[in-house]
Structure 1
Amino acid sequence: MKNTVTMPFVIQTADTFYKRFKGLMFRNEPIREEGLWIVPCNSVHMFFMSFPIDIVLLNEQKEVIRLIHSLKPWRATKPDKNAFSVLELPVGTIGDLCIRIGDTLEF
Structure 2
Amino acid sequence: MLLISNGNAVASKVEVASSFLAKSRGLMFRRSIPEDYAMLFTFKKPEKVSLHMVFVPFPIDVLLLDTGMRILETRYLKAWIGLLNSKTKVSYVVEMPAGSIARHKLKIGQQLSLVD
TM-score interval, normalised by the smaller of the two chains: 0.7 to 0.9
**Which blocks of at least 5 consecutive residues in structure 2 are unaligned?**
none
Q: CA deviation at 1:8?
A: 3.8
Residue equivalent to 2:62? 55
Aligned residues: 104
**Which blocks of at least 5 consecutive residues in structure 1 are unaligned?**
none
* 2:21 counterpart SS class: helix
**1:95 corresponds to which of 83, 91, 102:** 102
Q: What CA RMSD, in Å, does the superposition of the two structures yield over aligned residues?
A: 1.7
State the Cα deviation string for residues 56-79 of structure 1 (Å, max 9, x = none). Answer: 00001000000013x112221013
The yes-or-no answer on 1:72 pairing with 2:75 is no
Structure 2 CA distance for aligned equivalents of residues 101 and 94 of structure 1: 11
Structure 2 CA distance for aligned equivalents of residues 93 and 81 of structure 1: 22
The yes-or-no answer on 1:20 pairing with 2:23 is yes
TM-score w.r.t. the length of structure 2 is 0.80
Q: Give the AA of the match of 1:24.
A: L
> Which structure carries more strand by proportion?
2
